[in-house]
Chains A and B, each alone.
Chain A
């Protein structure tokens, strides 16, 4: 194992093209993280078409490194301007912004960068340590379990939607239904495609992902107004020396960073909890575990370090269910999983047997990209901060053009543009009426896998596949997840109505 570990490190670092893609991914990730309203999910959705046809390793490394560092860059606008790049960065505002107001922006940025970097590395280490533990469990899975895992994946991600679990489930099922478009592998019937030849190969995943994620985000950005130019640009002035001081301060709180990184990584393993939960849980942990908590909320560096280390370490954790079970650990991982499938990576236990090298390369990519982002941002933060002022009016048409380009490049079929238009309307409806979209990505990605697994399981065991021990456990987990979500929704509603009575 150690030999594989070291060999893959050498393989990655000596491959000029893979390293170039890693650095490119890191830089693009910094851009998407720094501009409020863009974020990692959109970054993957928009760049998938450009990695299509690339060598598997280079493409996978590019996407993962880009996704891994968006959180690191997202904190810049949180700390300097009180504007979170994404929901995950909101916890950093509580102490990061007051620090900036007190003239300690550089220290806050430095400590958050270092905490993010360390968190990302610890997340990768947790993943690496858990590989030998998870291997015997994963290898016990058969097609029957993979069918139920697909359903469990949708249930878990629908769970992200909190009280709106029904909406989440519907969106996941909708994604699965669209996965059935095209030639049925068993009977050769062209399902839902009639005489439209471009649909016989199935609905283009890239077009669907762009329509559901990229276009609605841009329309939404235009509707709510993307400009935050009211904030003073002077706040963006930070010195490298102050940031280095912040880095050093992070090491003074090494035990807190270690604890929060571990918590974040384990939250990442549990599908559905997401980065926002990781950040707030660790913020709460930092407050509760400190002897002098009176400074929290007024500019305490521990309030920056704790959520940032958790947010980045969760990415390593969420790779575990994504890679070995095909169940994405977060919404971003759901889109990443779809992108990897397009590249030809088949998630599941066989990755551990046949593609262990690739797994290790991804772990190393996670480590290197996190460290690279810290080093890069230490020197270019003041310029990256200016990206916060990029006007929505300029950003929207450019992203829309990239979306159209991606659709045309994916399969070279102009008909997909019409599909993009139709699905974008549905995608925007989902966003506007608060239907969670990540379950769609899982549904459309796992739909085909679920169908193949079901047919295999049926051929092997007929109805007995429902009563296999692992199947029963997975069915139980699906039922418990839905029941708990319904219960949680009921409690939330009860709390809200009692709060209203109180008012």
Chain B
């Protein structure tokens, strides 16, 4: 790839600005307001009054935000810092406390000099993995219930995401499950969702 090809790829265009994560998220917020206002047309007064009073300013402000996002994208030449405000704040703080050897702040400063697009890519990957685990937890609890689903999730997360040893993963899983069971079932006598598949199996094969 020639240098000019690389430059043209990095050049901020309107389409790139519009499909950047920040702008897409603002568009999502706009569409939430737009859909809610649209749905409210079918309601009679006064049920539709406040959805309009709140929804229209919401739409206007998100449109304004979309404009600001696009402007910001061009101003930064397409290189948007992926760190959150708190992380930037910590990096700023570390600048003012130079010489104090703040381990956390040094770590944050490290990301300051990195290529933002590379940082963003590795972050996106991490986010997808973590959301994958989270949705797996929701799915397994919905299907098999809380008491079966949570230990499976916890063990898999500890063993494969956190890379803990087999022994520690098993110990933590058993400890957490047992503690919750003792508190919720034995002490508080709570009945927690048992899962669709578990309920089906129990109803079909195990009930009298």
Contacts and interface: CB of A to CB of B under 8 A. Distances in A.
Contacts of A421: 134-135, 138
A408 B158 contact: no
Interface stretch (A122-130, A249-257, A354-362, A428-436): A428-436
Contacts of B163: 393
Contacts of A414: 142, 193
Contacts of A98: 100
Contact of A401 (B33, B40, B50, B153): B153
Given A174-B29, A429-B25, A429-B28, A191 B43 contact: yes
Interface residues of A, number: 71
Given A81-B103, A174-B29, A431-B84, 20 more contacts: A84-B104, A101-B101, A176-B54, A177-B51, A177-B58, A186-B46, A187-B44, A228-B104, A297-B97, A391-B162, A393-B161, A394-B164, A397-B133, A401-B176, A404-B141, A408-B193, A421-B135, A432-B127, A435-B25, A454-B50
26 contacts: A82-B102, A93-B93, A93-B97, A166-B64, A173-B58, A174-B29, A174-B32, A177-B51, A222-B161, A228-B103, A231-B103, A393-B164, A396-B162, A397-B158, A401-B137, A404-B138, A405-B146, A417-B138, A418-B138, A425-B131, A426-B32, A428-B127, A434-B84, A434-B85, A450-B50, A454-B50
A169 B134 contact: no
B54 A166 contact: no
A434 B149 CA distance: 33
B78 to A, nearest CB: 16
A90 B87 CA distance: 12
B190 interface: yes
B61 A177 contact: no
Interface in A208-228: 215, 218-220, 222-224, 228
Which range holds the interface residue count of chain B? Answer: 35 or more
Contact of B61 (A170, A189, A425): A170
Contacts of A167: 65
Contacts of B190: 409
B200 interface: no
A222 B84 CA distance: 14
A455 interface: yes
Contacts of A451: 50
Contacts of A404: 137-138, 141, 146, 150
B56 to A, nearest CB: 10
B172 interface: yes
Contact of B90 (A90, A170, A174, A458): A90
Contacts of B105: 82
B178 to A, nearest CB: 13
Interface string B154-191: 10011001111000000010001000100010000010
A431 B86 CA distance: 10
Contact of A424 (B29, B90, B134, B154): B134
A454 B57 CA distance: 17
Contact of A180 (B50, B89, B107, B130): B50
B197 interface: no
Nearest to A401: B150
Nearest to B44: A187
Contact of A432 (B21, B130, B138, B146): B21
Contacts of B162: 391, 393-394, 396-397
B176 A223 contact: no
Contacts of B202: none
Most buried by B among A174, A404, A408: A404
Interface in A420-476: 420-421, 424-426, 428-429, 431-435, 450-451, 454-455, 458
A65 to B, nearest CB: 20
Nearest to A165: B61
B158 A82 contact: no
Contacts of A455: 46
A34 interface: no
A192 to B, nearest CB: 6
Contacts of A186: 46-47
Nearest to A393: B162
B3 interface: no
The dominant DSSP class at the B interface is helix
Nearest to B32: A174
Interface in B97-140: 97, 100-105, 107, 123, 126-127, 130-131, 133-135, 137-138
A192 B39 contact: yes
B32 to A, nearest CB: 7
B103 A170 contact: no
B206 interface: no
Nearest to A430: B25
Interface in B35-63: 36, 39-40, 43-44, 46-47, 49-51, 54-55, 57-58, 61-62
B92 to A, nearest CB: 10
Contact of A184 (B43, B58, B172, B176): B43
Contacts of B87: 224
Nearest to B62: A170
Contact of A219 (B32, B103, B134): B134
B133 to A, nearest CB: 8
B16 interface: no
Contacts of B26: 433
A398 interface: yes
B137 A400 contact: yes
A223 B126 contact: yes
Nearest to A414: B193
Given A228-B104, A231-B103, A401 B154 contact: yes
A305 interface: no
Contact of A170 (B29, B39, B84): B29
B1 interface: no
Nearest to A395: B162
A173 B21 contact: no
Contacts of B101: 82, 101
Contacts of B22: 433
A177 B161 contact: no
A180 B44 CA distance: 14
B100 A97 contact: yes
A225 B141 CA distance: 26
Contacts of B33: 173-174, 177
A377 B190 CA distance: 33
A83 interface: yes
Nearest to A164: B85
